[in-house]
Structure formats: C-alpha cells, structure tokens
C-alpha cells in the first residue's frame, strides 16, 4: 500500500459529501454574495468544484507560480456539478499514478520567482487539495444557511439533515 492510498480513500468520502453540498446551490442565487469582499455563491461553488482538477494538475509539476486569482461565475448548478464530477475523476486517475518517491519530492509555491513555501508533494496535496477544499465547503455551507437553503449533513447532523435520526 502506497502513501497515496489513504488520501484516495479520504478523497472518495469527502468528495461525496462536497457533492451533496454543491447539489443544494440554488441556481437563482448564483450572483448573491454575503459581503462586498466575498466571492459570489456561484464563484465559491465553482471554485470548490474545480479544486479536484486544479490541485492534482499543479502537483504534476515541481513548482507553481502564484498569480492573481479571478474566479469565473458559474452559470448553472449543473455546470458546478459537472466540474466537480469531472475533477474528481481526474484527481483519482492522476493521484493513483503517483508513487511514494514522486510524493516525497519537494514541491514549491512560487511568487515572482521566489518560493513562498516548499513541502513534499504529499503535503501540498493534503494542504491544498483536501484541507483547502474543506475550508471552502464550510464557507459554502454558511452561504446556504444565510440563503435559508437546507444544509446537508457534513460530519454530523445539521438543523436540516440528521442522518442519525
């Protein structure tokens, strides 16, 4: 069993949960934002949906140059779900092909040609593919609550969904 196997298992479980949250995104509220400095609902949902594709793609190279980030606005809930599903399939394929030696090689986030941080590739995947996704999924669940959309169970019951009842 390689190092990537437990990450693939976690990815399988967590992306199913993320999809349940993304399914709740109301199409008629995609441009809504809780604050002027916040991403819109459609931007946040599409960003979260796209992470399973973007992050493994970044991991295939030894360094990544961080540039300004401008997230596109989603045009439909189906677009969000399709991006998520395609990204998850891509992530599983790319991650499954990564052996331990590759995962232990140093990966660097660069800014202006200078390293911002350098970590073993497995650490980058954990930090950005998984933890970063959980952060944005949490934000999205708050957006849903503020819009009075029923929030699905994530790690346990919500006021709207109790899988243990």
Give me the pLDDT at residue 69, please.
Answer: 79
- List the alpha helices (DSSP H) in the chain: 4-23, 41-59, 77-96, 100-104, 121-124, 132-146
Give me the pLDDT at residue 70, please.
Answer: 87
What distance lies between CA 69 and its chain's CA centroid?
15
Give me the pLDDT at residue 53, please.
Answer: 94
Residue 73 is classified by DSSP as: P
* Residue 60 C-beta-side C-alpha neighbours within 13 Å: 12
Mean pLDDT of 123-148: 96
81-105 tens-digit pLDDT: 999 999 999 999 999 999 999 999 9
Give me the pLDDT at residue 10, please.
Answer: 95
pTM, whole model, 2 decimals?
0.94
> What CATH fold (topology level) applies to the domain 4-30+37-146?
1.20.120
């Amino acid at each position: 069993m390689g190092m990537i196997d437990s990450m693939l298992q976690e990815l399988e479980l967590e992306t199913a949960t993320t999809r349940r949250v993304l399914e709740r995104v109301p199409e008629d509220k995609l441009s809504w934002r809780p604050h002027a400095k916040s991403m819109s609902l459609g931007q946040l949902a599409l960003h979260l949906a796209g992470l399973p594709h973007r992050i493994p793609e970044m991991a295939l190279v030894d360094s990544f140059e961080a540039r300004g980030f401008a997230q596109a606005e989603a045009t439909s809930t189906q677009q969000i779900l399709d991006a998520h599903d395609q990204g998850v399939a891509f992530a599983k394929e790319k991650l499954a092909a990564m052996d331990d030696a590759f995962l232990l090689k140093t990966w660097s986030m660069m800014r202006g040609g200078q390293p911002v941080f350098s970590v073993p590739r497995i650490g980058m995947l954990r930090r950005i593919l998984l933890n970063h996704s959980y952060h944005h999924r949490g934000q999205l669940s708050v957006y849903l609550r503020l819009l009075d959309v029923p929030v699905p169970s994530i790690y346990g019951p919500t006021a709207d969904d109790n899988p243990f009842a």
